[in-house]
Chains A and B, each alone.
Chain A
Amino acid sequence: MKLTRRELLLSSGALATSALFPPLAWAHAAAGQPRKGGVLNVHVASEQRILNPSLRASTGVYIVTSKIIESLVDLDDAGRVVPQLATAWESSKDGKTITFKLREGVKWHDGKPFTSADVQYNALELWKKHLNFSTALQLNLQAVDTPDAHTAVFRYSRPIPLDLLLRALADLGYVVPRHVFEGTNVLENPANNAPIGTGPYRFVQYERGQYIIVERNPDYWRKGEPHLDRIVWRFITDKTAATAALESGQVQLSAYSQLALSDIDRLGKNPDFVVTPKGSEANQFNNTLEFNFRRKEIADVRVRRALAHAINVPFFIENFLYGQGRPATGLIPSVSKSFYPADSKVPYAYDKARAEALLDEAGYKRNARGERFALKLVPINNGEDVPLFATFIQQSLAQIGIKVEITNFDYAASLAAVYKTHDFDIATGWHQYRGDPAVSTTVWLRSGSPAGAPWTNQYGWQSDKVDKLIDDAASEVDPAKRRALYAELVREVNEQFPIWFATERDFYSVVSKKVQNSHNVARWPSSSWHDTWLSA
């Protein structure tokens, strides 16, 4: 194996880091006795329109509201589902009835008790009707029965895999109080901007464009917790200014890779901070190359494979992403232990000669000027790496005789161009994997999505086999069979190649070493921070 200097530096750096902070030891050893008090200041890059996780599923919403509002279940450090507001669960044999036991003695911040009626209302009125991603997940939810105040029975018209439901509920199972929302226009309810929940922190103040403050909930159901007096989120749009805020001590945490790649790399060497992908494993993302099958050249699988062969992904990761990523092997990332197919490998590795041969074979020979054809590339600007990857694609494809013209839009406009008007030949952006392929990954492949739904199959491509695999897996209750179906899906998609996930990336957190018990669960930035404390 050939190691470049950067890889060597990176791996030795990683060794040094893990020697200094073995993942768990770092979370607990420094700990000792949790110290009461203190204010944790957190950087947030963009302001959300509403702060209600049972109406809006987004890390930007969770990073604030999950401290105030709790979901039925959460994840532990290994990404396994653990109880939160639900204490136990059970699926019927046919997979159509899921029974949740709810925690007793839990109170809303306004003093009223939390009961199964709240869960019933959230599931039927919010999760099924309004919450993005959840509307598809709960599509077959028919009723929620409440035999007593602490039991909720979910009834589905089709079997739903318990693992899928539970994993999804960590993100899509936040419960807001029924007595506040019932009978109102839920989208305009004032509690959307002054949230009321059962969580360890109570909402205090929201100054638009500036900050959000929460304070310790003295009646929290986990006795003796939380430890912090307050948490303050500050809105800082400029990435460099956010880094300065960290370095000057104004904020102690920036999660979900909201800083510049170069700053994340640089802060990794700063002894005051820990820079880590740990604690964010529940969310992964890929740099994509999306194909528009309405272009005849693109519709030829040899051309699509040639494009992938022409792009040196390891080089891109090493030189543009500061080594923050891995080449992807398919639509399921390698950290997704429950679904990652064992025998995965990069489907179309960098091989320029092979790319040229494939294009010749497809009948697109170079003309007198050495060009084969031209493509219009639309970058979907999720992050600063997207324009970089677009340029990298442009230059890589120029070498095999394909002229790429990059059409730049802002975020909203690029989404409209790709997923609504289909005004592109190839596009590049991010795909986000949320723990289970059925949550937000298979929609990229399933046919039948109407135009205008971003991050869905808008490519003019359809495969009966893939559609069937997706539908079968979504209602397969046997975990082993489900895993096999997804392995088959990965194989089939790599073969037909309707879309390319080029890289596999982690979200990085930058956190001050004063913050204890941080990043100790798989979705820590989106968890409740009930055990987090600040050392003096």
Chain B
Amino acid sequence: MRFLTLAGRRLAAALPALLIILAGLFLLLQLAPGDTVDALVAQIGGADATVIEELRRHYALDRSASSRLLDYLWRLVHLDLGESAIYGKPVIDVIVERIPPTLLLMGSALALAFGFGMVLGIVAALRVNRWPDTLISTLGLVFYATPSFWFGLMGIFVFAVYLGWLPAGGYGTIASGLAGWAHIADIAWHLTLPVVTLALIFLAIYLRIMRASMLEVSTLDFVRTARAKGLPESRVVTRHVLRNALLPMVTLIGLQTGTMLGGSVVVECVFALPGLGRLAYESVMQRDLNTLLGVVFISALLVIAINFIVDLLYARLDPRINATH
């Protein structure tokens, strides 16, 4: 029960921000030259004035921006995200179809980045300024500095085109008729390259933070005390240093959810994955206001939810932090 109140309170606190974001985005897109009919006509290679006029009516673009904004907000109150102009069906249905690939991609990439970042960060911190540290830090820097689309494309060329080990893109074998574990394995096989691509950049950040935070914590008094009372080094590292060094890492998860959604736009486009990121990109290009606002709305909810979980994790890692305050 306390958990639910907490969650409800978080959501309520985020609502004004969400409303401002949605209204702001709506107005921002009004300022962008060209509407969804312009984009459609561009896509089909031209149309004459009567067709264009009729399409404007069809998409309700003949009404004023303010009346459409009010209409949108009113529908939002009823939890109705409207119709998607590109897909011709309710935005919520379009988004629900697109959430699983993005969640899977982000979740796996996050786990990979967090896991490897943590281990490599610990190794680097324990061997600080010796060759493993230099190697790991340099690699981290390279990963961080390389754009993800480049990683993705290189991955495709090496592992899909040249070696032929992994598929070049897509979310599962088309019409394979696979079920159960075979289906899951098929999706995992298709997601390997995209997940690694997305994870590499974030890996670098986790690695650097873990290393720095390990080094910082290991100089604190309680670590010296632990050593002084004769605890074995492994226990000092796992029980005392690691647990405290993890706090900034957990903070980072919450902060990076948003960034990762952004990164998934590129990765989903390169690997032709049907996720939220690509949907957002397409709705911007097609000026599909309802879909774009829907994606922003759902993404914002996602970020709020993950940050809420992060807060709960905090309390678990460090009992001094009480989630209720």
Check B287 for interface membership: any CB of A closer than 8 A. Answer: yes
A211 at the interface (CB under 8 A from B): yes
Cβ of A244 and Cβ of B44 under 8 Å apart? no
Task: State A245–B156 Cα separation when bound (angstroms).
Answer: 9
B157 partner residues in chain A, CB cutoff 8 A: 244
B301 interfacial by beta-carbon distance below 8 Å: no
Pair B48/A49 contact, Cβ less than 8 Å: no
Of B134-142, B163-171, B229-237, the one with at least 4 CB within 8 A of chain A: B163-171
Q: Closest CB of chain A to B148's CB: distance in Å? A: 12
Q: Are B156 and A244 in touch, CB under 8 angstroms?
A: yes
User: Are A238 and B97 within 8 A (Cβ)?
Assistant: no
How many chain-B residues does the 8 Å CB contact rule pick out? Answer: 56
Residues of A within 8 A of B48 (CB): 132-133, 135-136, 443, 449, 453, 456
A463 contacts partner chain B, Cβ-Cβ < 8 Å: no
Say whether B156 contacts A241, CB under 8 Å. Answer: yes
Chain B residues with CB below 8 A from A432, complex form: 45-46
Report the minimum CB–CB distance from A419 to chain B (whole Å): 9
CB–CB A453/B168 < 8 A: no
Cβ of B205 < 8 Å from any Cβ of A?
no
Min CB distance B52 to A, Å, is 6
How far apart sit A241 and B266, CA to CA, in the bound complex (Å)? 12
CB closest residue in chain B, given A453: B49
Shortest distance from the beta carbon of B74 to any chain A beta carbon, whole Å: 22
Asked whether, in the complex, the Cβ of A210 is within 8 Å of the Cβ of B38, the reply is no
**Contact status A412-B47, CB under 8 Å:** no
B269 near A411 (CB under 8 angstroms)? no
Query: CA of A440 to CA of B46 in the docked complex: distance in angstroms?
Result: 8
Q: How far is the CB of A448 from chain B (nearest CB, A)?
A: 10
> Could you tell me if B51 and A412 are in contact, using CB atoms closer than 8 angstroms?
no
Judge whether B175 and A248 touch: CB under 8 Å. Answer: no
Distance in angstroms from A349 CB to nearest chain B CB is: 30
A440 to B41, CA, bound (A): 13
Chain B nearest CB, measured from A187 CB (Å): 6
Distance, CA A146 to CA B41, complexed state (A): 33
Against A, the Cβ 8 Å flags (1 = close, 0 = not) of B117-154 are 00000000000000000000000000000000100110
Report B1-56 residues with CB < 8 Å from chain A CB: 32-35, 38-52, 54
Asked if B94 contacts A237 (CB within 8 A), the reply is no
List the B side residues contacting A50 at CB < 8 Å: 88
- The verdict on A61 contacting chain B, using a C-beta distance below 8 Å, is yes
In the complex, per-residue mask of B206-246: 1 if CB is within 8 Å of any chain A CB, else 0: 00000000000000000000000000000000000000000
Select one of A132, A247, A416 contacting B47, CB under 8 A: A132
Of the candidates B42, B156, B170, B270, which one forms a contact with A210 in the assembled complex, judged by CB atoms under 8 Å apart?
B170
Tell me the count of chain A residues lying within 8 A, CB to CB, of chain B: 64
CA of A236 to CA of B33, assembled, Å = 26
Interface contact B46-A454, CB-CB below 8 Å: yes
Q: Contacts A50-B88, A238-B270, A244-B153 given: A61-B44 contact, CB under 8 Å?
A: yes
Which A-chain residue is minimally distant from B156 (CB atoms)?
A244
Which residues of chain A have C-beta atoms less than 8 A from B317's C-beta?
none
Asked whether A415 lies within 8 Å of B34 as measured between CB atoms, the reply is yes
In the assembled complex, which residues on chain B have CB atoms less than 8 Å from the CB atom of A49?
40, 43, 85-88, 286
A51-59, A77-85, A195-203: which one contacts chain B?
A: A51-59
Among B107-115, B277-285, B308-316, which stretch is in contact with chain A? B277-285
User: Shortest CB–CB separation between residue A192 and chain B, in angstroms?
Assistant: 7
Tell me the bound Cα distance from A445 to B61 in angstroms.
28
Could you list 18 further interchain pairs (A-B, Cβ under 8 angstroms) beyond the known A49-B88, A248-B161, A416-B38? Answer: A133-B47, A133-B48, A135-B50, A207-B274, A208-B98, A234-B170, A237-B272, A240-B270, A248-B168, A250-B170, A409-B34, A412-B33, A415-B38, A415-B42, A443-B46, A449-B49, A452-B52, A453-B52
Considering the complex of A and B, which 6 residue pairs feature the smallest CB-CB distances, nearest first? A412-B34, A209-B274, A132-B47, A58-B44, A412-B39, A416-B34
Between-chain CB contacts (< 8 Å), 21 pairs: A50-B88, A57-B45, A58-B44, A130-B54, A132-B44, A132-B48, A133-B46, A133-B47, A207-B274, A210-B274, A211-B174, A234-B170, A234-B174, A237-B278, A244-B169, A245-B272, A409-B33, A412-B35, A412-B42, A443-B46, A455-B45
